[in-house]
Amino acid sequence: GRWWSVDAKAGGGGSGGSIDVQAASLRGAGLVAARGGNGFYSGGYKSGSGGGGRMAVRAPAGISAEVDLQVQGGTASTACAGSSGTVFTSTDATGERIEVRNAGATSSVTPWPADAPSTLALAVIGTHARVAINDTAVLMGARVRIHETAELSPLRAFNGTLPESEARLVRIRARQIDLYGKVVAPGPNSTVSIGADVVNMKRV
């Protein structure tokens, strides 16, 4: 969707919706999408694009690799990109997974889901995603992966509820962490706390 201003200067993109799929299995080569709408540019005015939606797919017998699950935020070359969406999947073979991802453009900030289970098999901050986590929350799973184009920061570093001099905290707990992207601790009193058996890193 798109919102138009009263004087028709520029319209913002609508956010993606919510999709909940429950089936024995999900097969084939189809597309399931909850994408944000693109912003608009007119007469020197820019509007924001819509954030990606939220998707949950529960299919005990499996999800075909050819099924394309899309939750990216809207983007336009002349407008601000929308935030990444989230995908929750659950199968007997892979367990429960959450991925925050965008496609092809750095997104606005997405809060890590407050209702994310602590028993995730895999938590992913994926391609071009910028994720912020609350001080009281923990990014937790058997395995945590932060893509090389992704970024994780404290939530209050973005929403301005704390001055830069105040403490901010990012906590990650997993058996294995693939830390290929950025984990940012802005300000002198910010802390990144990582607990894992194995941490794999890559220079970016």
Q: How many CB atoms lie within 10 A of CB 7?
A: 8
CB of 102 closer than 8 Å to CB of 79:
no
Give the pLDDT confidence of 66-81 residue by residue, as tens digits. Answer: 998 988 877 765 557 7
* Predicted model pTM: 0.82
Q: How confident is the model at residue 41 (pLDDT cuts 50, 70, 90)?
A: low
- 130: burial class by Cβ within 10 Å (0-12, 13-18, 19+)? buried
Give the pLDDT confidence of 83-142 residue by residue, as tens digits. Answer: 888 999 999 999 999 999 887 666 678 889 888 888 999 999 988 888 988 888 899 999
DSSP for 87-124 reads: EEEEETTTEEEEEEE-SSS--BEEEPPTT--TT-SEEE
Give the pLDDT confidence of 153-193 residue by residue, as tens digits. Answer: 887 655 555 555 565 788 999 999 999 999 987 777 788 89
The C-alpha angle with vertex 90 and arms to 86 and 92, in degrees rounded to 5, equals 160
Which residue ranges make up each domain of the chain? 2-201
